[in-house]
Amino acid sequence: MRRSETYKILKPIMFRSKVFKAGRIVTFSHKNAEKFVNAKQMMKVDMRGFTNVLNCGLRFPDEVVLLGSGPNGVPKYPMLKGRFIIALNGAINAPVDVNVWAAQDPLLKSEKWFNAAAMKLQSSGRIFGLNEFKRGEYPMPIIERNSIAKSYPWFKLTFTVTRPLLDPANIDVDSPLIHPGGTVCGSFIQVIRQVWLQDKLNTKPKRIILCGIDMFGNMYFNKTKHRDSTRKDKTWYRKKTLDALIKGMMDAGIEIVTVSETKLGYPKFVEEI
């Protein structure tokens, strides 16, 4: 008799008078799952083998771009060509060739565009692990372990955010943990530094280039709107925390600049990179 296996529900199914909604991770016997798999309502997934990028020997180049979804970044896309680009959340759909897709927000699972992007990558037949990243197979998702990876377990490279939230009055850039509270941009700035610190022999100057990190309004680069309509025409309340983190990282020796207009105060605005 076959043991139970893990599956992701792709379309709602009815099994033994119970409705299973799309997106759920479930355990079924092979026999019971077979008809749903054949009908493409369910797919088998492997919940094993997640890799924490903070301690696995993964490497980033000495200069990286953090690409956000803000509309201010759009005119600057051409100057990013050929650079190592990390797309944050919805920026994966920007018309830019990216190397890494960083995702954190636990509400992303309920967004149709996110599920579509994740399933498109999965259907490519690629493997999304450390060896593939080292071979330069891009874009490579690096996603938050607890909030997202369990729903998209074919993405094996993960990081974990750990409370408490970042305290803008007491930023500790030397913490080995990734603390939330500075948006996905703040979390991944911390991830980048931790990855750089793994390579102890590399003492070359480090630089982070921000693009599309507007921290303002509810409009995205593609003219769609954020689900929180109260952001319209307002500066994001996480600005203070992200500014404090950026200042701390700059004080620690990392150059951080922005090529697009932003409500952030600390990254230096530059016309050219």
Between 22 and 255, whose confidence is greater?
255
Give kind and range of the element (H or E) at residue 133. helix 130-134
Instruction: For domain 51-269, say whether CATH 3.90.1480 is its number.
Output: yes
What is d(CA 57, CA 53) in angstroms, rounded to the nearest whole number?
7
pTM: 0.88
The pLDDT value given to residue 1:
43
Polymer length in residues for the chain? 273
The whole-number pLDDT of residue 110 equals 86
Query: If pLDDT is split at 50, 70 and 90, which confidence band does 179 have?
Result: very high
As a whole number, mean pLDDT of residues 219-230 equals 85
Give dist(CA 262, CA 71) in Å, integer.
10
Task: State pLDDT tens for residues 259-269.
Answer: 999 999 999 99
Whole-number Cα distances in Å, 160 to 55, 100, 252: 12, 16, 22
Q: List the chain domain ranges.
A: 4-44, 51-269
